[in-house]
Amino acid sequence: MKPVKVGLVGLGTVGSSVFNLLISNRTELERRLGRTIDVVHVGARRDNPVCNLSAVRVSRHVLDVAFDPDVDVVVELIGGTTVAKEIILTAIAQGKHVVTANKALIAQHGQEIFAAATEKGVGVYFEAAVAGGIPVIKALREGLSGNRIEWLVGIINGTGNFILSKMRNEGAAFAEVLKQAQALGYAEADPTFDVEGIDAAHKLAILASVAYGIPLQFDKTFTEGISQIEIDDINYAQQFGYRIKHLGISRRTAQGIELRVHPTLIPERCPIANIDGVMNGVLIHANAVGPTLYSGAGAGGNATASAVIADLVDVARSLDVSAANRMPPLGFQSAAMSDAPVLAMDEVETAYYLRLTAEDHPGVLADITRILSSRGISIEALLQKEVSDPAHDLVPIVLLTQRIKEKEMNAAIAEIEALDSIASKVVRIRLERLDA
């Protein structure tokens, strides 16, 4: 069979890995497909010395790749949401299939891109956009297609997981570990995108769309970062048998879809609680199979390239599929997308970890439990420590609650903070038991 001809746009870390892996794993790919996958055209503003480009056409004007009639599939790996979008829409308009690792672009402009692809009968593949080399889009879209997906939680930002793991292992503060992560190249000079959960929100929006067949709704995703997490909280969590992870969480409820990224206490005996360092993991709860977990490298050139090439193999296998049978980008027919609303954070139900700093006199605990109880909030566990600040007679009170709507918890926290005996803001971290 004739080769599948690839136009590769972007020759950075991932692009160069794709280019070189297609060469080094060429025999294995040909054993699978009965044909080769050949990069015939590279679009890059500059060469990358790790790639031997002598046998391929190279364009500095990267859009040329999308117009090349010799190209069957365009692989977009330049990132960003402007030129990348133009390249992808042009490739689709030219009748070419598209593979991309661009989570920001899919999360923000996926609808437009998918509509164009459906119109032209071509495929759009983006396994590499979420959790790097872990085939979790494929698991949701195909492997679990016999199920109704109920919820999923993911450690989908390696930088944040590295920081939280290191804080716990070394008892070091956030700011200190962030500096180490930056020195190691795991965090950017401006770490906002990773540590505030924006990157995770992009990926969560994509996972939820593929899980439930809903439009991409990154803009409605609730986001809370990890920069406020203190060692004390990690340690208290551990005393209760929990770990703190920065999770993307999505749940399909009768009222709507939850989309939220925030630090979360999860039971330490859950396998996902033990996914540490820069590793990623996604736990999916589906109605037939129950929970399944997928973990591995969430970033890095070769890991991401692994996902890109798997998408290319899927494209190769589906070149002659009819438009009606072609895998829709989200795994659901475009005419069958659900319009279930995204649930406002106020309406989300979850459990909580609360840490209060209170004056050490009788009656404080009674006030707190009265306030919680009046809002229907049940306490599951409580830890009152010895006086931590003898000069001011302040004690930390740490408690875990049962599930309750966020708006009730917000109101309760406001009331608690208004008590004279409460010395500072209440620390509140959400908690998920992951058991149903």
Q: Which helix (H) or strand (E) holds 180?
A: helix 174-183
Of 207 and 356, which CB lies nearer to its own copies in the complex structure?
Answer: 207
Which residues, numbered 332-351, are part of the site for its own copies (CB under 8 A)? 332-333, 335-336, 338
Q: How many CA atoms lie within 13 A of 195 on its CB side?
A: 21
Buried b / exposed e over 313-340, threshold 16 CB at 10 Å, is: ebbbeeeeeeeeeeebbbbbeeeebeeb
Decide: is 190 part of the binding site for its own copies (CB under 8 A).
no
Query: Radius of gyration of the chain from Cα atoms?
Result: 24
Decide: is 291 part of the binding site for its own copies (CB under 8 A).
yes
Decide: is 145 part of the binding site for its own copies (CB under 8 A).
yes
Of 288 and 391, which CB lies nearer to its own copies in the complex structure?
Answer: 288
Decide: is 391 part of the binding site for its own copies (CB under 8 A).
no
In three-state secondary structure terms, 109 is helix
Active site residue 203: yes
Which residues, numbered 15-44, are part of the site for its own copies (CB under 8 A)? 17, 21, 25, 28-34
Decide: is 130 part of the binding site for its own copies (CB under 8 A).
no
**Closest separation between CB of residue 44 and its own copies, Å?**
20
Decide: is 77 part of the binding site for its own copies (CB under 8 A).
no
Of 125 and 174, which CB lies nearer to its own copies in the complex structure?
Answer: 125
Decide: is 286 part of the binding site for its own copies (CB under 8 A).
yes
**Residue of 419, 348, 414, 343 lying closest to 375 (CA atoms):** 414
Which residues, numbered 202-221, are part of the site for its own copies (CB under 8 A)? 213
Question: SS3 breakdown of the chain: % helix, strand, coil, rounded to 5?
Answer: 40, 25, 35
Q: How far apart are CA 66 and CA 42, in angstroms?
A: 10
Decide: is 124 part of the binding site for its own copies (CB under 8 A).
no
Decide: is 135 part of the binding site for its own copies (CB under 8 A).
yes
In three-state secondary structure terms, 261 is strand
Of 228 and 338, which CB lies nearer to its own copies in the complex structure?
Answer: 338
Query: Which residue of the set 96, 203, 220, 425 is catalytic?
Result: 203
Place of tokens 């939280």: 164
Q: How far apart are CA 179 and CA 170, in angstroms?
A: 14
Q: Which of 175, 183, 324, 366 is the binder for its own copies (CB under 8 A)?
A: 324
Q: Which residues are catalytic?
A: 203
